[in-house]
Structures are given as C-alpha cells and as structure tokens.
Amino acid sequence: MTQSTQAQVALVTGAAQGLGFHIASRLFAAGFRVVLTDVNGEAAKKAALSLDPEGINAIACELNIARKADFEAALQFAVTKFGALQVLVNNAAVTKATPVMDISPEEFNEVVNINLGGVFVGCQVFGKYMAEQGYGRIINMASLAGQNGGTSTGAHYAASKGGILTLTKVFAKELASKGVTVNAVAPGPIDSPMVTALVPEDRLPTLLGAIPVGRLGNADFIGDVVVQFARPEAYFTTGTTWDVNGGLFMR
C-alpha cells in the first residue's frame, strides 16, 4: 500500500504534557494528523487546541491505557474522525521511584500492568487493525532504565520498560509480513517534567556529571526520532530500539 506522510494519522498516548506532547507536536509539524490521548481528557483537549485551534488536524480523546476498551474506543474515534489510522505511539506510563526493598507486590503489579500491559494491549488492538489495512507503524517508548536497571526510577518502572523492548520484538515478528513495523525508542534523562520530579535540584549536577555528553536530552529530538520511525520509508526497520541517552548506554 502506498502511503504519504500528509495523509497519515497518528495516535499518541499520554500526549497531554511532557514527552508525549513533544512527540505529538513533532508529528503534527511533520504533516501528520494527530490524535492526542491521555487519561486526563480535558488536558488532552487543551494540548490538541494548542497545536490546532481549529481542531481540524489535531484532536483529543480520553484514553486510560490500563483499559483495553479505551484503546478500542480510541481507535474507533480516530477512524471515525479521520477515516483511517496508520501510526500508534505507545508513550503513556506511570513513574514511581520507591526504593526497591520498599516496593509492595501491589505497587509492583500496578506499575508493570499499566506500563507493560498498556503497550501490549495497544500493540494488540492497533496492530490487528493495521494488519487488516496492510500498513502501519507502531512506536513504543521504552527507556534507558529498561536497559541498565534504572538510576532515579523504581525497579518496577525499569522492569516494565525492559519488557517493552521484548514486546517490541514479539509484535515486530508477528506483524512484519502485514506491512506493519514495530520499533522502540529508549531515551535517557530528558529535559522534562518527569526528570525534574524525580531528580532533586541538588542532585542534578551529579546526574549531568554521569552523562558522557554532560547535558540532558532534548524532547523535541525524541519526537523527531519518532517521526522517522513513523514514515512510510521506514519499512525496512522493525524490531529495533533507537537509543538516545547521551552515551550512558552503548551497545
């Protein structure tokens, strides 16, 4: 199936703020029509309107990634509004920094079920639709924490992100013959509200000192990486992880 970027529709989870909003804004700037979803529906609406005050090419939808029915409803919403959907960005996640020995089984299960379970269901629901259409691009937001065990994040967050790397390969194999690619992006510390919340100001110099390039990452660049994976020309790249971590983890 021949595709053009201008005709494509992308849905981003957790897009009301932070990295998710940067991803949505870069997709929008690249010519994609974008559905911004978030567990906070009102915040998603405000974010969409900030991109497109007319509400023509950027729209919002409430989506809780812990609920499969929400993914199904969001897919139907996007197809109803835009006629089709070609790109899914699984970005939404919960982050907790509880010390590993203090994490209860309930808290561990909650974080893993939301972060890893949400990516699984998103790939399953949207992957099936894309396979039926014969074309699709799925981009899963992993993390450096899933590769090195984490630094400022909790063990449950790191474990969930490590699982996302594996799920990306599983779905890439499953969907490759259907014209659907599945890739991951693994950012290190990004200049974002999440890092600000997890790293106290007095610890920031220590964090920067541990990063070989000596700076936090740029959220808009992460969005541009997602755009590259979302392009029709990315058909030959699937099951991969693009590291953006300032040299903290090298293969």
Catalytic residues, by residue number, are 157
Residue for token pair 């070609």:
86
Q: What is the rounded CA–CA span in Å between residue 137 and residue 126?
A: 10
Per-residue DSSP letters for 121-166?
A: HHHHHHHHHHHHHT-EEEEEE--THHHH--SSS-HHHHHHHHHHHH
Q: Which of 213, 169, 167 is nearest to 190 (CA)?
A: 213
Please give the structure tokens belonging to residue 144.
């450096």
What's the rounded Cα separation, in Å, for the pair 61 and 182?
23
